[in-house]
Amino acid sequence: MDKLIIEGPARLTGEVEIDGSKNAALPIMAATLLSDGKSVIKNVPLLSDVFTMIKILRSFNVRVSFSDGVLEIEPNGYKGYTALYKYVSTMRASICVLGPLLARLHHAKVSLPGGCIIGPRPINLHIKGIKALGADAKVEHGYLIAKTKGLRGASIYLGGAFGSSVLATANVMMAATLAKGKTIIEHAATEPEIVDLAEFLIKMGAKIKGERTHTIEIEGVKKLHGANHTVIPDRIEAGTYMVAACATRGDVTVKRAEIKHMGSLVDKLIQAGAVITNKSKGAIRVRASRRLKAIDVTTLPFPGFPTDLQAQIMALMSTAKGISIITEKIYPERFMHIGELNRMGAQISLEGESAIIQGAKSLSGAEVMASDLRASAALGIGALVAKGETQISRIYHLDRGYRDMEGKLSKLGAKIRRVRE
């Protein structure tokens, strides 16, 4: 297992290019299963999650080639409908093949994902959605088995205990594209990744209205075709480098990013004392010349503050001036990074779904362990700030969502290396 070794403290300066969005690319790859035709998808990030989705598509006998960030996917006559446990257990986003398989083959068998370090991740809303469209669904031997004689449009309320669901919205929207008649999804997710998926589906010939709002209308069509598409920039990768720039009191320009997807983060960083300028299209400059002020943050569905940046902003608040409270409203148990940040000298305690952070003057390097993708990024930010050497183990989590983080941080002036063990 690889480790990252970071010698701090660092001050990040310069430019960093942002890759395509992982969470937009994965459902778009699944959506190609809705037609027989060839799709070409550009700006796809080279990440282990993308390779897992490629393996799933190939396990259905779909032809896939991937080079220079361009995916060519040709489902022509594929027959497989089983997403195996070995894939789903490493990547929960595998669930987004459910809707396309059901719509296209009228049969889907998808392994249930099982436990997750960031808390319970039920799929009841996915099941509610496909049942409303006329599928039978049952769980047998660890697999969700869904069948239909033909999907029919329906009105479906998809709100859950924690608000809207991104991938349940994606699954129902994809399934509904080939259903007979009209589907209305109420309390739909409005994340930019859902809008990107809808745009891809529209290019495939789907009739969709209201993406970007909580009410999405889909008029089913008989057939879809392959399409060409460029994936949106990864707002979470961009946000991670913006937070790292602030934590190290640096001056970083993130390039190929989309500021309109990052309003809540920009607002919070400015509130904490950072200077943010939208230099030119896609280029956002972030500067922090002194220690930032403590701020309170609550995660919420888009356009609220993203849960996928909660761990990173907590690492930033670990050395801010004052006390901040970070409340997690999407995954109330997503706090595994607290213990590891505290090993580096942070002073964070947990009260229910809120973390209380007493900003420390500095952190100190330590041996720490990554527990999930975004927690790994938070430890990286902590390590850049900390005095001395930090070793982060289990960085296979990081490789699921950040391409070449060590290369990008080195270019920004960090002393960082990967040790292969």
Q: How would you label 398-407 residue by residue, b for 16+ Cβ within 10 Å and e otherwise? A: bbbbbbebbe
Contact 45, 20 (CB under 8 A): yes
- 184 DSSP β-pair partners: 155, 217
As a whole number of angstroms, the distance between CA 9 and CA 218 comes to 52
CB of 4 to ligand EPU, least distance (A): 18
CB of 92 to ligand EPU, least distance (A): 6
Q: Report how many residues bind ligand EPU under the rule CB under 6 A.
A: 24
Of 88, 101, 168, 338, the one binding ligand EPU by CB under 6 A: 168
- Token output for 52: 């897992």
Nearest to 24 by CA among 126, 220, 212, 167: 167
With CB under 6 A as the contact rule, which of the stretches 105-113, 165-173, 178-186, 387-395 interacts with ligand EPU? 165-173
C-beta of 69 vs 113, nearer to ligand EPU: 113
C-beta of 259 vs 373, nearer to ligand EPU: 373
Site track for ligand EPU across 16-55, x = CB under 6 A: -------x--x-----------------------------
- 356 DSSP β-pair partners: 325, 349
Site track for ligand EPU across 269-308, x = CB under 6 A: --------------------------------------xx
CB of 154 to ligand EPU, least distance (A): 17
Give the footprint of ligand EPU on residues 71-110 (CB under 6 A): 93
Run of H or E residues at 354 = strand 354-358
Distances in Å between the Cα of 35 and the Cα atoms of 43, 75, 80, 159 are 21, 7, 14, 29
C-beta of 26 vs 360, nearer to ligand EPU: 26
Q: What is the DSSP letter of 152?
A: B
Question: What end-to-end distance do the CA atoms of the chain give, in Å?
Answer: 5
C-beta of 265 vs 363, nearer to ligand EPU: 265
How would you classify the pairing of strands 323-327 and 297-298?
parallel
- Token output for 417: 């290396």
State yes or no: residue 160 binds ligand EPU (CB under 6 A): yes
CB of 49 to ligand EPU, least distance (A): 8
- Token output for 87: 């894939």
Contact 319, 291 (CB under 8 A): yes
Of 29, 167, 254, 368, the one binding ligand EPU by CB under 6 A: 167
C-beta of 193 vs 399, nearer to ligand EPU: 193
State yes or no: residue 401 binds ligand EPU (CB under 6 A): yes
C-beta of 168 vs 317, nearer to ligand EPU: 168
C-beta of 24 vs 320, nearer to ligand EPU: 24
State yes or no: residue 124 binds ligand EPU (CB under 6 A): yes
- 64 DSSP β-pair partners: 73
Contact 19, 232 (CB under 8 A): no
State yes or no: residue 373 binds ligand EPU (CB under 6 A): yes
Site track for ligand EPU across 329-348, x = CB under 6 A: -xx-----------------
| Residue 329 identity (one-letter amino acid) | K
- 418 DSSP β-pair partners: 4
Q: How would you label 286-325 residue by residue, b for 16+ Cβ within 10 Å and e otherwise? A: bbbeebbebbebbbbbbeebbbbbbbbbbbbbbbbeeebe
With CB under 6 A as the contact rule, which of the stretches 119-127, 176-184, 200-208, 408-416 interacts with ligand EPU? 119-127
The verdict on whether 96 is a catalytic residue reads no
State yes or no: residue 376 binds ligand EPU (CB under 6 A): no
Instruction: Please identify which of the residues 65, 114, 116, 213 carries the catalytic annotation.
Output: 116
Q: Which residues are catalytic?
A: 116
Question: Residues interacting with ligand EPU, by CB under 6 A?
Answer: 23, 26, 93, 121-126, 160-162, 165-168, 193, 307-308, 330-331, 373-374, 401
